[in-house]
Structure 1
Amino acid sequence: MADDTPGWRFFIDRGGTFTDCVARDPAGRLRVAKLLSSDDAPLAAIRQLLGLPDGAPLPGGLTVRMGTTVATNALLERAGARVGLVITRGFGDLLEIGDQARPQLFALAIEKPAPLCEEVLEVDARVSPAGELLARPDPRALQHDFRAMFARGVRSLAIAVLHAYTPAGKALERELAALARTCGFGHVTLSHEVSGGLGLLARAETAVTDAYLTPPLRARVGRLAAALPGSRLHFMQSSGDLCDASRFRGRDAIVSGPAGGVVAVAELARRLGLGQVIGFDMGGTSTDVCRHAGEFERSYETRVAGVRVRTPMLALHTVAAGGGSICAYDGRRFSVGPQSVGADPGPLCYGRPGAGPLALTDISLALGRILPHRFPFPLARARVDAALERLSEKTGLSAPAVAQGFFAVAASSMAAAIRAVSVARGHDVREHAMIVFGGAGGQFACAVARELGVRTLVFHPLAGVLSAKGIGVARLGWHGEADAGRRVLEPGALRELTPTFEALVARGRAALEDDGAAPDAIRVTRRVDLRYRGTQTPLTIALPEPLPDDEDERDALEELRARFVAAHRRAFGYARPEHPVELVRARVELGAAGEPDASRGELATQARPGEDRGSLPEHVTLWADGRRHERVPVRLRETLFTAPGETALEGPALILEATATIVLDPGWRMEQAAGGCLIARDDRPVLGDTEEERGGAAPTAGDAAPDPVRLEIMGNRFMAIAEEMGVALQNTAQSVNIKERLDFSCALFNAAGELVANAPHVPVHLGSMDRSVETIIRRNADTVRPGDVFALNAPYDGGTHLPD
């Protein structure tokens, strides 16, 4: 055993491909392990770092914190429990109908994702919106139905009663659950326990998802806990908070692993004094991005793998562009992803049988952004060169131009994801620094930042395992919500909510103390969801702490309203200061003070197998900014800034780490920062829109065919604009048709009224929208001015909808 076990702390991110483990030994040194993921990988990582043989029993007294993608994978693979849904009579087909969301917009044979529940049981259980009990099922008949469902193999139940957010609705769901347990069901999820607000569809889907994921998740957690007797085991929740293993459930586990990366980004920003940051995590199959500006941004309703889940979840945006993403040319345009070559056979350069399409890793190799010397096996560079030559013949571009084109398309796609968590929410991305992590992030970071106008990049020394490190600094936490009755925000409204807040706080304190939190370490944050009366989209606003008494309530209400107006203007571009505001939902967040030093310490020396500086070239050829750069220096990260007088590194340069490569593009300057971090800055003028600045050729009127790279990049940008229009329309709509049925379409048109790009909305409108736009242009060509807005619903001019 490497050291005495008391005081050992393990922070584990169990991903789909790799399991990362950061350990802090009793002396405060950090150790790192990375293993291929399997059911036993977390235990194997602990044994490896403790110096124990495979299969050896683990000692007690350990502290283990873990994030996992098990729940996400179960959703994607449809590998959860066999679930039955019990719902108010008349709503049995609710989940099958869903809303009008169509991920594959123009598919002629629509394949809707199957509901997670195998069976639906409609029961006479109904409550009015005012909380009046309207119908209660016959217990004997219901038990007969439950036993029949159990006999058919259903083992987990979700119960969703109409208006279950009312006291009578909650009591009715509990009655049904008690009857179900007498019939053998080991797990029952009640909709009001997993989602306390309005919206039967979202509440029922969340309950079914929880019932689907929790039984297999708890089975796996139970096996892990049994192998760690006498140790404390906590799990990372999607909210960014930890909980005891006994409290970990399916609906809170969906982004358990990636949430650790968001927490790490927040902690690193705090330590470096950065006010607004973007987290950029690029892996093998996808790129996750997030934003942090002093407090966590959370979404409370998210769609994952085709399933709507209503639960506190750190705001992450994922794009299917990673090292394994397939690079293709369809005769007109370049594309990157969403398909991936996977780990086996992997990219073309791996040289394995069956490897076919080019992947982004191949493109990085061709452009000199990764070195073959850092791989544990020889790379087949010749296969990549041959594939690029074939594409060169098809496109008429040189092989380096083809590679640069795919690189530019991928960078543009990742930049669009970052805009989705910043610009689309009313934030100027140019005012942010970008924290880069993940195995491939360093290869693309400078290019993506340049695309966005971001001037500062941060590279942590443990960037390859940053999600695991973030789990180490996370806190114990609990989130609760309750319906606020849609009271108008006026004197007395907050006082009426006091009992609701007190009940939520009491539940949260009990949960955290059971998890091991000290009572005096628990901090409480109260929030309310506010919206303008008549609209459907609330904004979550923090209340002042402590809650004001009667004398101070008026001042508190004015401050709360001012916060809401400012947030509404930032999110939606307008505000209605005199319009009534209503309270939709009360929220409480409790957290026990985290341990900021838990995953800090000196990194223990861990030799890289086969590492030999002598085998690495001193210089390489690099393609960057559309140009070929000769004799670009290659540096090892551990030797940076160790020579006397060396304080900065000018790009272009390659910096090699144990598990990743950082490409410092021309124009960037890198310096050492606190905690072993590297900071790169770009002080050049903001990148312009001319193709000369972007390293390509601008199209001319006589061009026979458009540039396939520019076509894809501009197409993606236009599509993103249309999608952002849809988000704004849905968020500001007062119509149920628009807000919940998603019965709308958004598109961009050129000056002649011809369709340029459309978002993936309802197709029926797109066939006539161009006629509507052409009509408006024709009738107003001489009078239209910037900022004008037109509404049209004449059926002879293409109108299909009442203006919302």
Structure 2
Amino acid sequence: PCPPPMPYAPCPIPNDQFPKLMFMQSNGGLVDAAQFQGKNSILSGPAGGIVGAVQTSKKAGFDKIITFDMGGTSTDVAHFNGEYEREFETEIAGVRLRSPVMAIHTVAAGGGSIVFFDGARYRVGPESAGANPGPACYRNGGPLTVTDCNVMLGKIQPDFFPKVFGLNGDLPIASDVVKQKFVQLAGEIGGERTAEQVAEGFLAIAVEKMANAVKKISLQRGYDVSEYTLCCFGGAGGQHACAIADALGMKRVFIHPYAGVLSAYGMGLADVRVMRESAIEQQLSLELITDLHHILAQLEAEGKRELNRRDAEGAGEEEEIFVIRKLHLKYQGSDSVLAVNFDANIEVMQAEFEAAHRQRYSFIMSEKALIVEAVSVEVVETMDVPEISTISSDCGTGILPVQAISTVQMYVAGEWRETPVYKRENLRSHNSITGPALIVEATGTNAIEPGWEAEITENNDLILNRRSTVMNADNTRLSAVESDPVLLEIFNNLFRAIAEQMGITLQNTSSSVNIKERLDFSCAIFDQNGQLVANAPHIPVHLGSMSESISALISAKATTIKPGDVYVSNNPYNGGTHLPDITVITPVFDNSNSLVLFYVASRGHHADIGGITPGSMPPNSTSVTQEGILMDNFQLVCDGKFCSQKLLELLNIGEYPVRNPAQNLADLQAQIAANQRGAEELLKMVEHYSLETVQAYMGFVQDNAEESVRRVIDVLQNGEFTYAMDSGGQIKVAITIDKSTRSAKIDFTGTSPQQTNNFNAPAAVCKAAVLYVFQTLVDDDIPLNAGCLKPLEIINPEGCMLNPKYPAAVVAGNVETSQNITDALYCALGVMAASQGTMNNFTFGNQRYQYYETICGGSGAGADFDGTDAVQTHMTNSRLTDPEVLEWRFPVLLESFAIRANSGGNGCHRGGNGVVRRMRFREAMTAGILSGRRVISPCGLNGGEAGKVGRNYVERVDGKVEELGSTATVEMQAGDVFVIETPGGGGYGTIVATVK
């Protein structure tokens, strides 16, 4: 039996002499243990790093910094210009948190990131070796990592690295193991590259990834990083500081003596912070200012009470507390919120908001009212932090020669060079060291690259200044004839990053809910022939079809396109999808303005483009003319001038003109701005790498995608499937695999003829669905580009419902039939049961309001996975508008939004569940539902059961229930509730009964 517990002895230390226990929070402040909440400290480690970086940088005289925290598994970056930047809502591991956190961007590239060759490209991460087994040099059988690259190149030296490895924890890192593995890898890759060049190539890719992360929090928000200091810390930061700065065009790097442990040190420098916020959602006015004073005073009092400072007015205590009051402002109709300092003078706050908005988004909307979304108060109790000396006691100051403790070989710029090694503790203030050099210390190694000079300050800070630019050896060996595996990965990342920058610009500058909040848009770049090169991870049905729009423009306007021209199209018979999806196309010319080098395009779902119902998604249209205004290669910008008058004339013609042309113009201007960003970035790439190289790698990335799809085809089998639809049509597909040519034929012969309803899918939509399916079958991170289609032959008979003729109605073809095509293809290949098979398109509006959303459901199960509940599937991945935004913008109440239990099909692996969405209307409006799988269930596969069908109905205010079909238009009155129950996914495999 256990012995009885020992009685506690009385503590001899008085309570007031106990050390105070504080916890670090994600918002950058400390909190007393009694007020600690776990949700507020999820990002406390990175937040400590930002505090440490900011406080030490300010002490060193730098007020504008980019923080760069590189650890073992990832790299965190942040921006600071006088005050901490925070986000009040974030997503971590798929969970959305509404809690103030430091604005941090993370990329999966750290010292432990695994490096490997996939047969065509050098790859870095996202998988990490972690601490166990760790990098190969740790003597624990681990894989090659970024850390091993630095060991191979001499940037990490075994003699100056802790000897804590091996069975007894007393051996140095194993550089011989690293060299052996890189020599072996170089042999497997083939060609003339040495082991050193292989390691150098991996580092170049890692640097490019990390530099792109910095661009996300700086250049994409309008900040010129060349005016900033790069504050590097973390265990691996100093090894890459110069390379990151070079990639970003930054000229100065700051490295604190405690850089290797700055996140921990930063927690010790943090103040106690209490943040309080209150929602307002009112227009900024003089009358509101009085109320805001009162609300802010209440929030401040709450914050001070939490700090146990009710008597803060007492002598000596007021100095320890200061309060930051903020207004969170946005333009009416926008969701882009910017925080400004509270001031009793409205003009002062408006000027601060407009300056911030212009810097972030490049424009202001002075005609729109300012809305106060919320107010916040930050009560800060400054901590009494003792001064800690960072200067070694045996090192004085003064300009004296600095002595290296050793000389080693380091591989830089394509060659081995003798490199001096210095101990940081031996350096004196004002010592300067010219690269290449290594400065080693207890918590890290700092690599000084050629062209850089390191200087020691009086505080023992390390300041790196760029004195000249050194061309990397790889840039001198660029070839436009043969693909280089290092550059292939770098260009893959660069092309994708450009498309992502376009997307961020579009989201930031647009005005409609559809584009700004639902993210129903896509951006991509194309080669000179209009072939898709790269895209951001946007809407699949857009991306696979946009190249058809570019090709149509080239065919129609190739001889008349001029610099400064921009075109717009939504023609479903010329590469479009349905009329609300409007594509803006910008040709990118060379410097002489004589030759089109590339095309950039953005496609956005506009809130309304006319037609017989608000939102331009009529459930029962029978002709495309009822669905809105059709634009076919309309010249939107001529010689750099926006053709607003001609555009307005086009938008207002016909029987069903657009309902809010001003919003269309605003979103089109945002698309133009997004394209301009893409064009600028492509031309910068040409300037850096040469036109010949960029165009060559546009081809090489397509070749790489082609080979990836061919490898998938190698393991596929013939299959066919017939997919019945609620609308009465059917999709029939036969897939024939040719092993000898490593190609596939996708034949839709037997599909229903063109329908009299609107479920006809333009040929571009069918092509997009095929591209999406085969790209998803590739178990790798490859871009969705034209190369994926090269091994595929698509037979799509003219006049069938997947290749209709004008004026067939097509609005449901893009959003509904596309889902059915993907399900038919997956089922024919035997890889996945049917998903919900619909986008559940819901619209409502009148002349004043127009709103559109797609609603998630259950995904299908596969041979080794269950389906997912409540998820957007296949050809759409747009997000739902936040309930608060929805209810603020429109006269509706979202009564419930819940998982629809037991709606997924049973099987060895279950299908995902659908959802139930109930929306109550507060005033009369027209509502429409355009959906599928309300009659025919999403099928299971290989013995799996079908998912449940969906259901649409209206609960009238008088209690009556009105059942609706798959498609319906209804007049809603105040108090009526529209209910949508979405389908579940099909199950996979027969359940095997267990024998007792």
Contact 1:509 1:519 in 2 (8 A): no
What is the CA-CA distance between 1:314 and the residue it aligns to?
0.9
Structure 1's 624 and 515: CA in aligned 2 closer, same or farther, altered over 3 A?
farther
- CA distance in 2 between counterparts of 1:326 and 1:725 reads 30
Instruction: Tell whether 2:726 aligns with 1:726.
Output: no
What is the CA-CA distance between 1:654 and the residue it aligns to?
0.9
For residues 309-357 of structure 1, the C-alpha deviation after alignment (integer angstroms, 9 at most, x for no partner) is 12221111111111111001111111111101121221112222x42x3
What is the CA-CA distance between 1:746 and the residue it aligns to?
2.0
Give 2:53's aligned residue: 265
Instruction: Tell whether 2:370 aligns with 1:593.
Output: no
- CA distance in 2 between counterparts of 1:655 and 1:261 reads 22
- Written as runs of structure 1 = structure 2, the 5 A alignment for 1:417-436 is 417-436=213-232
| Aligned mate of 1:749, from 526, 540, 546 | 526
Structure 1's 593 and 351: CA in aligned 2 closer, same or farther, altered over 3 A?
closer
What is the CA-CA distance between 1:524 and the residue it aligns to?
1.8
3-state SS in 2 of match to 1:484: strand
For residues 702-747 of structure 1, the C-alpha deviation after alignment (integer angstroms, 9 at most, x for no partner) is x2x3111111112212212222222233333333333333332222
Contact 2:252 2:464 in 1 (8 A): yes
Contact 1:473 1:598 in 2 (8 A): no
3-state SS in 2 of match to 1:722: helix
Contact 1:243 1:515 in 2 (8 A): no
For residues 416-475 of structure 1, the C-alpha deviation after alignment (integer angstroms, 9 at most, x for no partner) is 111111111110111111111111111111111111111111121111221122112211
- CA distance in 2 between counterparts of 1:777 and 1:490 reads 51
- CA distance in 2 between counterparts of 1:365 and 1:727 reads 37
- CA distance in 2 between counterparts of 1:587 and 1:785 reads 50
- Written as runs of structure 1 = structure 2, the 5 A alignment for 1:787-802 is 788-800=565-577, 801=581, 802=605
Contact 2:391 2:460 in 1 (8 A): no
| Aligned mate of 1:388, from 165, 182, 185 | 182
3-state SS in 1 of match to 2:77: strand
Structure 1's 495 and 395: CA in aligned 2 closer, same or farther, altered over 3 A?
farther
Instruction: Decide which moves more: 579-588 or 647-656.
Output: 579-588
Contact 1:369 1:663 in 2 (8 A): yes
- Written as runs of structure 1 = structure 2, the 5 A alignment for 1:319-398 is 319-352=107-140, 354-355=141-142, 357-373=143-159, 374-376=161-163, 377-393=171-187, 394-396=189-191, 397-398=193-194
| Aligned mate of 1:674, from 458, 469, 486 | 458
- CA distance in 2 between counterparts of 1:409 and 1:796 reads 41
- CA distance in 2 between counterparts of 1:62 and 1:468 reads 27
Give 1:622's aligned residue: 410
Give 2:327's aligned residue: 528
For residues 205-264 of structure 1, the C-alpha deviation after alignment (integer angstroms, 9 at most, x for no partner) is xxxxxxxxxxxxxxxxxxxxxxxx933111111111111111111221111111111111
Give 2:977's aligned residue: none
Question: What is the TM-score normalised by the length of structure 2?
Answer: 0.53
Instruction: Decide which moves more: 495-504 or 453-462.
Output: 495-504
| Aligned mate of 1:665, from 442, 445, 449 | 449
What is the CA-CA distance between 1:605 and the residue it aligns to?
8.3
- Written as runs of structure 1 = structure 2, the 5 A alignment for 1:646-657 is 647-657=431-441
For residues 346-394 of structure 1, the C-alpha deviation after alignment (integer angstroms, 9 at most, x for no partner) is 1112222x42x31111111110001111231233323222222233232
What is the CA-CA distance between 1:542 and the residue it aligns to?
1.4
Contact 2:335 2:517 in 1 (8 A): no
Give 1:558's aligned residue: 347
Give 1:409's aligned residue: 205
Structure 1's 777 and 499: CA in aligned 2 closer, same or farther, altered over 3 A?
farther
- Written as runs of structure 1 = structure 2, the 5 A alignment for 1:528-547 is 528-544=327-343
- Written as runs of structure 1 = structure 2, the 5 A alignment for 1:65-84 is none
Instruction: Tell whether 2:356 aligns with 1:567.
Output: yes
Structure 1's 700 and 676: CA in aligned 2 closer, same or farther, altered over 3 A?
closer
Contact 2:89 2:100 in 1 (8 A): yes
Instruction: Tell whether 2:291 aligns with 1:291.
Output: no
Letter in 2 for 1:297: E
| Consecutive unaligned residues in structure 2, runs of 5 or more | 1-8, 164-170, 395-403, 582-604, 607-666, 668-996
What is the CA-CA distance between 1:798 and the residue it aligns to?
2.4
More helix by share: 1
For residues 673-727 of structure 1, the C-alpha deviation after alignment (integer angstroms, 9 at most, x for no partner) is 1321111111225x7xxxx6553345444x2x31111111122122122222222
For residues 493-544 of structure 1, the C-alpha deviation after alignment (integer angstroms, 9 at most, x for no partner) is 3223222222212211211226998455322222112112122222111123
Contact 1:772 1:792 in 2 (8 A): yes
Computing the radius of gyration from Cα coordinates, the structure with the larger value is 2
Letter in 1 for 2:357: H
3-state SS in 2 of match to 1:332: coil
Contact 2:232 2:253 in 1 (8 A): yes
Structure 1's 594 and 724: CA in aligned 2 closer, same or farther, altered over 3 A?
farther
- CA distance in 1 between counterparts of 2:76 and 2:147 reads 18
Give 1:491's aligned residue: 286
- CA distance in 2 between counterparts of 1:444 and 1:385 reads 20
3-state SS in 1 of match to 2:223: coil
Instruction: Tell whether 2:113 aligns with 1:314.
Output: no
Instruction: Tell whether 2:489 aligns with 1:712.
Output: yes
Q: How many residues align?
A: 550
Structure 1's 415 and 539: CA in aligned 2 closer, same or farther, altered over 3 A?
same
Structure 1's 415 and 516: CA in aligned 2 closer, same or farther, altered over 3 A?
farther
Contact 1:277 1:433 in 2 (8 A): yes
Root mean square deviation of aligned Cα:
2.7
Letter in 2 for 1:736: V
- CA distance in 2 between counterparts of 1:392 and 1:291 reads 38
| Aligned mate of 1:759, from 511, 536, 544 | 536
Letter in 2 for 1:513: N
- CA distance in 2 between counterparts of 1:720 and 1:694 reads 24
Instruction: Tell whether 2:14 aligns with 1:251.
Output: no
For residues 175-217 of structure 1, the C-alpha deviation after alignment (integer angstroms, 9 at most, x for no partner) is xxxxxxxxxxxxxxxxxxxxxxxxxxxxxxxxxxxxxxxxxxx
Structure 1's 676 and 746: CA in aligned 2 closer, same or farther, altered over 3 A?
same
What is the CA-CA distance between 1:590 and the residue it aligns to?
1.5
Structure 1's 783 and 521: CA in aligned 2 closer, same or farther, altered over 3 A?
farther
| Consecutive unaligned residues in structure 1, runs of 5 or more | 1-55, 64-228, 549-555, 607-615
Instruction: Tell whether 2:241 aligns with 1:445.
Output: yes
Instruction: Decide which moves more: 656-665 or 720-729.
Output: 720-729
Structure 1's 669 and 234: CA in aligned 2 closer, same or farther, altered over 3 A?
same
Contact 1:265 1:279 in 2 (8 A): yes
Letter in 1 for 2:247: E
Contact 1:62 1:231 in 2 (8 A): no
Letter in 2 for 1:638: E
- CA distance in 2 between counterparts of 1:783 and 1:249 reads 64
Structure 1's 693 and 382: CA in aligned 2 closer, same or farther, altered over 3 A?
closer
Structure 1's 494 and 700: CA in aligned 2 closer, same or farther, altered over 3 A?
same
Give 2:713's aligned residue: none
- CA distance in 2 between counterparts of 1:60 and 1:656 reads 43
Structure 1's 697 and 647: CA in aligned 2 closer, same or farther, altered over 3 A?
closer
- CA distance in 2 between counterparts of 1:456 and 1:59 reads 53
- CA distance in 2 between counterparts of 1:57 and 1:431 reads 59
3-state SS in 1 of match to 2:73: coil
Give 1:234's aligned residue: 22
Letter in 2 for 1:375: P
Letter in 2 for 1:695: D
Instruction: Tell whether 2:420 aligns with 1:633.
Output: yes
Instruction: Tell whether 2:522 aligns with 1:738.
Output: no
- CA distance in 1 between counterparts of 2:523 and 2:14 reads 58
